[in-house]
Amino acid sequence: MLVELAVRDLGVIESARITLPEGATALTGETGAGKTMLVEAISLLCGARADPQCVRPGSDESVVEALFVVRAGGASADEELVLRRVVPVDGRSRAYINDSLVPAGRLAEVALDLVEIHGQHSQQGLLSAGAQRAVLDRYARIDTTGLDLAQSDVRRLRREVDDLGGDAEVRRRELELLRHEVAEIEAAGVVEGEDQRLEEEEDLLDGAVEHRAAADRTLASLSDDAGILDQLARAEVDLGSRSPLASTAERLTQLRIELDEVSADLRRQAEAIEVDDVRLDAVRLRRAQLSGLRRRYGSDEAAIIDHARRCHERIVEIEAATARASVVSAELQSASDRLDAEAHAVGSRRRAAADTLAEELAEQLQRLALPSAQVVIAVSDDSALPGAGSHVEVRIATNPGMDPAPLAKVASGGELSRVMLALRLIGSGGPPTMIFDEVDAGIGGAAANAVADALRAVAEDHQVLLVTHLAQIAAVADEHILVVKNADDHRTTTEVHPLDQDQRIVEIARMLSGDSDSSVARQHAEELLVGRLTSPRDSSR
């Protein structure tokens, strides 16, 4: 339950601290006094969007803090929980749980189990199919854990099937292609640098005749009679006997010896060159084969060999995936069967409980001044989860002769509030603290009395904070807090004052007639407060 609320520099509230008891507490005051700003403060603790414009003018930040006591079951001690929200004029808001900084989303998760706020517009959540399904599940005490787990397993296994490479046929085709590529590369026996060597050999074979002819012509120039070697020999003789030219003769001798060696080397090279058209065709064919492999698998022999390696690795992966896919497919089939069974079990319970909930809801609405209320709860399937009755729609008719229609189309804000109250009276759960922010707007007379009785009944099992302008509602509260706005030429402030019995009479008289000094209004106020003594909570005191 909410034990204490502290607000600083939020809107018209400079500083306020409220201690809240168990049961119902009424929060009243003139329009604009700041009642709804207190509800806004609690909304911030529930993770609501922080608006810097709500910071009190002249202040750097707004601070909202609340102490909750979480009731423990059995012999365990109760737990105290402090939630705090800081909203600066500039920058992001900050959220704290027990003085530890947390994301605002985490604050919302924790507050979800602590407090629930109902207002003229907060009932819109009741219009969603998910919320209406949750109402039915809580009412019928339907445990969807098995269904949720089965759904999770099916989703997980389907993702694994996708990650394994799709269906078996896709994997088979990929495996067949990979094996073909590996076989082609391995059969070719690719060796790094091979094409460069073959290119050199092709050049040799392709020009063998011309190479030998060129060698023969050169040998003839060097070695034939009157060739270069003979001419050099004669020059050596002519110069050798002449001492002034002896050094040149020696150089010619060295040159002749070197040319003689060149001639011998050239003769051996020429003799090694063979004209082999068969080998030339084989080299050209091999180079064409390597060229084709490069076009398909890589820029050179190293890339082709690496491609074969990667194909081998992928083959191993696919073979392992195929084996795993067989196991996963069996698990998926089992999970799908379990999901189907869980879905139909949950769907059967939802359909069985729908009529009973509709009857009880109609009875409660009739007690809440909707005497002609008719309720139908339609349960149907969606394509994603056949059999589970996932689509739940509350349909209502509040006037005679009308067919029940979806809440969103026929229910006003006040009627939605009464539908919510009826669900709470039926026992559809909810957190320990509930705040009703002017859910009585737009109603009066018998409807107001009926809503007051309903709120008093809700307060038997919950801590309830009632922000109201209706005297009937305020009178059913166990405690009463007055919100007062004070204004002068310089500033406006809001104060909160707990009221004793006499002060309550004055405030309720004001709410009844607008004149707290009216004796008739005060008498009526006393009668309203005396009527409160019939509540089970007061009777037990």
Enter the DSSP assignment of 190. Answer: -
Backbone φ/ψ region at 352: left (φ over 0), alpha (ψ -120 to 50), beta: alpha
Report the C-alpha dihedral over residues 26, 32, 38, 42, rounded to 10 degrees.
110
In a domain, 69, yes or no: no
Q: How far apart are CA 517 and CA 506, in angstroms?
A: 8
For residue 502, the number of C-alpha atoms closer than 13 Å in the C-beta half-sphere is: 0
CB 438 within 8 A of CB 120: yes
C-alpha distance from residue 168 to each of 110, 254, 266, 312 (Å): 46, 81, 66, 19
In a domain, 249, yes or no: yes
In a domain, 437, yes or no: no
In a domain, 152, yes or no: no
In a domain, 179, yes or no: yes
- Count structural domains, the chain: 1
Query: Which amino acid type is present at position 508?
Result: I
Angle (CA) 304-307-308 rounded to 5° is 90
Burial string for 244-265 (b: 16+ CB within 10 Å, else e) reads eeeeebeebbeebeebeeebee
In a domain, 194, yes or no: yes
Q: How far apart are CA 301 and CA 287, in angstroms?
A: 11
Spatial CA neighbour of 45 closest among 14, 4, 91: 4
Beta-carbon contacts of residue 1 (< 8 Å; ≥ 6 apart): 20, 22, 68, 69, 71, 432, 433, 463
Q: Digits of tens for pLDDT over the chain (541 positions)?
A: 999 999 999 988 888 999 999 999 999 988 877 888 888 999 999 888 889 999 998 899 999 999 999 877 666 778 899 999 999 999 899 999 999 999 988 988 898 889 888 765 555 557 777 888 988 998 899 999 999 999 999 999 988 888 776 677 887 888 899 999 999 999 999 999 999 999 888 888 877 778 878 888 898 888 888 789 888 888 888 887 788 888 888 898 899 899 989 988 888 888 877 777 888 889 889 999 999 999 999 889 999 999 999 999 999 988 888 888 888 888 999 999 999 999 999 999 999 999 999 999 999 888 887 888 899 999 999 888 999 999 999 999 988 888 898 887 876 666 777 787 788 778 656 788 988 887 776 677 777 888 888 888 888 888 999 998 889 889 999 999 999 888 776 777 788 899 999 999 999 999 888 877 788 888 888 888 886 544 444 444 3
Tell me the β-bridge partners of 483.
496
CB 470 within 8 A of CB 511: yes
Beta-carbon contacts of residue 65 (< 8 Å; ≥ 6 apart): 5, 6, 7, 82, 83, 84, 85
Q: What is the distance in angstroms between the CA of the first residue and the CA of the last residue of the chain?
A: 20
Tell me the β-bridge partners of 26.
466, 480
Q: How far apart are CA 386 and CA 257, in angstroms?
A: 102
Domain that includes residue 254, residue range: 168-320
Number of H helices, E strands in the chain: 18, 15
Is pTM beyond 0.95 here? Answer: no
Q: How far apart are CA 437 and CA 483, in angstroms?
A: 14
Query: Which amino acid type is present at position 382?
Result: D
Q: How far apart are CA 22 and CA 70, in angstroms?
A: 13
In a domain, 513, yes or no: no
Exposed, middle or buried: residue 295 (CB in 10 Å: 0-12, 13-18, 19+)?
Answer: exposed
Exposed, middle or buried: residue 31 (CB in 10 Å: 0-12, 13-18, 19+)?
Answer: exposed
In a domain, 385, yes or no: no
